[in-house]
């Protein structure tokens, strides 16, 4: 077995999986103001950008060959309420950023998050009555949110809310409104995970979240349930599906890909990113090697692509561009 491993050229020749810049999606955070570049303390190397600065990041993605960006807002607490009304504001951060990137004419896809948690005062992904999430009422609002984002320039609608039936209703609404070519990337198997903490810092929901999300996000103990969720979303019209988090759920990714043979993505979430960065900053691991190894693990498990905060660093490593 060692003969094939002896030289670099031979290792490359027999390599079973490859990672390229085409596999990367770069999540970016938006914030209010002008000229703002605000580091996220719990995510070393990650920054919140005001809309006027987001185009420069999209330009970097285009130069590096990163295919797509995923946008997430940090909404001013003064504009958050129990109904998440800011999600339906055509002038919200996501819509502004979509229009700005589109106006720049850059060859990058825009993926937008459809959920209410960045806009609600209670930090949940849906509307609430007492402590109960109102599924159907939430879906109705998600449809309106999705249509606004597409009108602003989104290419891919990515529902991350985990409400039942939302993919089918959103697909129907998009088709009826003449947006048949807009793709849906469903957060199909999204687990109630402890690995989301730094993300919630980045979008400002850690301070607002009341309770937890275990009534609508998946139990980390379950795998068969993930296949059921994915099957439903595909039947409802999802073009691509996602497993979230990533590294702790490689077994789910493998089962999903083997079962459905559909475009399958993982989200290397904030907690995964922060752990690698923190360990690297302390000199406990080689950060660059750990980054590339973790991304290759997603490809090995069956992913067609990965949402990762490492996207620009990995792209530079893969392409040799500064």
Catalytic member of 190, 213, 257, 299: 190
With beta carbons less than 8 A apart as the criterion, state whether 72 and 29 touch.
yes
Catalytic member of 213, 244, 257, 299: 244
Phi-psi category of residue 42: left, alpha or beta, with phi > 0 → left and psi -120 to 50 → alpha: alpha
Phi-psi category of residue 75: left, alpha or beta, with phi > 0 → left and psi -120 to 50 → alpha: beta
Tokens of 289: 């090697």
Quick count: other Cβ atoms within 10 Å of Cβ 33?
14
Burial class (CB in 10 A: 0-12, 13-18, 19+), 248: middle
190 noted as active-site residue = yes
DSSP SS3 for 133: strand
> What angle do helix axes 93-103 and 135-152 make, rounded to 10 degrees?
30
d(CA 159, CA 75): 18
Would you please indicate which residues are annotated as catalytic (active-site) residues? 190, 244
């Amino acid at each position: 077995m060692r003969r094939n491993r002896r030289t670099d050229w031979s290792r490359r020749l027999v390599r079973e999986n490859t990672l390229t810049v085409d596999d990367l999606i770069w999540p970016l955070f938006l914030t209010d103001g002008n000229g703002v570049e605000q580091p996220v303390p719990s995510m070393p190397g990650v920054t919140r950008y005001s809309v006027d600065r987001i185009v420069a990041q999209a330009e970097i993605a285009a130069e590096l060959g990163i295919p797509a960006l995923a946008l997430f807002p940090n909404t001013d607490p003064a504009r958050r309420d129990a109904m998440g009304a800011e999600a339906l504001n055509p002038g919200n951060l996501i819509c502004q950023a979509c229009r700005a990137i589109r106006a720049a004419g850059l060859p990058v896809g825009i993926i937008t998050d459809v959920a209410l948690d960045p806009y609600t005062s209670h930090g949940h992904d849906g509307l609430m009555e007492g402590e109960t999430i109102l599924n159907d009422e939430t879906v109705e609002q998600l449809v309106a949110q999705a249509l606004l984002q597409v009108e602003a320039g989104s290419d891919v609608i990515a529902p991350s809310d985990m409400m039942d039936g939302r993919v089918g209703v959103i697909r129907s609404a998009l088709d009826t409104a003449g947006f048949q070519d807009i793709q849906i990337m469903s957060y199909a198997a999204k687990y109630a995970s402890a690995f989301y903490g730094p993300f919630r810092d980045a979008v400002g929901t850690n301070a607002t979240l009341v309770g937890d999300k275990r009534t609508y996000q998946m139990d980390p103990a379950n795998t068969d349930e993930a296949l059921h969720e994915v099957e439903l979303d595909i039947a409802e019209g999802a073009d691509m599906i996602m497993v979230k988090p990533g590294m702790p759920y490689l077994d789910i990714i493998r089962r999903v890909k083997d079962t459905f043979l559909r475009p399958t993505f993982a989200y290397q979430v904030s907690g995964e990113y922060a752990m690698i960065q923190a360990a690297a900053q302390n000199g406990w691991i080689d950060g660059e090697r750990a980054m590339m190894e973790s991304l290759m693990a997603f490809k090995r498990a069956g992913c067609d692509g990965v949402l990762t905060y490492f996207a620009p660093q990995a792209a530079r490593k893969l392409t040799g561009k500064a």
